[in-house]
Amino acid sequence: MIGHLSDGINACTGAPPEDGRGALREKDDSVTDAILPRRNADETTMAPRESRTSSPAADQGAIKLIYVAGYGRSGTTLLDIALGEHPAIMGAGEVATLARHVWDNGEYCACGARVHDCPAWKAIVTRWMQGEPDGFLAGYRRAQALTEGLLAPGRLLRLPGWRSHARRTLKLLRGMTLVSGRPILVDSSKLPGRAFALAAMPGIDLHVVHVVRDGRGVAWSLLKGHRRSVEKGVQRELRPKPLLYTALRWSMVNLAAEWLCRRVGPDRSIRVRYEDFIDDPRGTIGRIVALVGERPHDAATGAVPFEPQHQVAGSRHRMQKSIVLRSDDKWKREMPGWKRWIFTAMCAPMLHRYDYPLRSGDVA
């Protein structure tokens, strides 16, 4: 069955979870040291291919990390899932939330299990905590708060604790590559500030994908709330966001993402319009994986459903068994004209910058 999503994200989902508990659905949980997705189970080798990216970091065997930056409801989780279909890439979801609340709250992984029971994250976190003191996660969480803001003092001033935080972050990422058996990681935490911190850490070969979606579609999506449903991937009640709030935040976060792309450089960053990703998943994925020196994977066509794997957090779409990308411009028909006009008036320069038409009826 192809369903229609109600939040304006341009995707349709396959079969929903079988039951109200979010379907602790069948996965190959016999594998504890490598994640083998169902579709790629016959691909036994996920060893790193020779990188075409040359940099001091890459030469020293740094961890290759694709950071997906952008605003919410822009398809960042869908892109994470699509990238994770590649046999060399682990789509890890919003990794920033692992220590913040996912682990302590026992939230759900995209595989359908709680993180404590997920074979991948259980192994990753066990390795991560080895040799660390009591209260490790709480301390890591505090360090995140001091380092992941856009103007975070812990990062900018290299306050005490920065080096140990960087070491622990690298330890987590190395564990993720070891457990997944995949040399490239995707972190779709979205907020640019976290990527600024990752960019400043030694041992991380950071690449950035700036995902942007027409802000009016984002605003229309955010005008609808979602009730809390942990097993369906909604960890807390999502209240409707006022239009003006979204207009300001959408502009600020996208500007910050552009700043981030300049920080990492043009050979390590790419901007992806969500609408283009939906129209041409193969082309979009191909451009992103080329950035990290990989060849496209045949499965990234969009014609076959994408299967979420172990995205630790992100939008509720990750809790679906399969996802078929499909164009959805419902907001263009349903969003009241005056609301669209207000958003357009406030964000016209940014919309124009990303080649979105300012007048209704114009072709995007």
Please report, as ranges, the residues that interact with Zn ion according to CB under 5 A.
109, 111, 118, 120, 310
CB of 123 to Zn ion, least distance (A): 10
Classify 314 in phi/psi space as left (phi over 0), alpha (psi -120 to 50) or beta: left
Closer to Zn ion by Cβ: residue 69 or 109: 109
Which alpha helices (DSSP H) does the chain contain, by range?
A: 56-59, 76-83, 96-97, 103-105, 119-129, 136-147, 153-156, 162-180, 192-199, 215-222, 243-264, 274-279, 281-291, 330-334, 337-353
**Does an H or E element contain 189, and which?**
strand 184-190
Closer to Zn ion by Cβ: residue 118 or 335: 118
Closer to Zn ion by Cβ: residue 57 or 118: 118
CB of 135 to Zn ion, least distance (A): 25
Cβ atoms within 10 Å of 240's Cβ, excluding its own: 12
C-alpha closest to that of 74 among 181, 188, 227, 151: 188
CB of 277 to Zn ion, least distance (A): 24
Closer to Zn ion by Cβ: residue 36 or 253: 36
CB of 279 to Zn ion, least distance (A): 30
CB of 321 to Zn ion, least distance (A): 13
Cβ(323)–Cβ(278) under 8 Å?
no
**Does an H or E element contain 185, and which?**
strand 184-190
Closer to Zn ion by Cβ: residue 111 or 166: 111
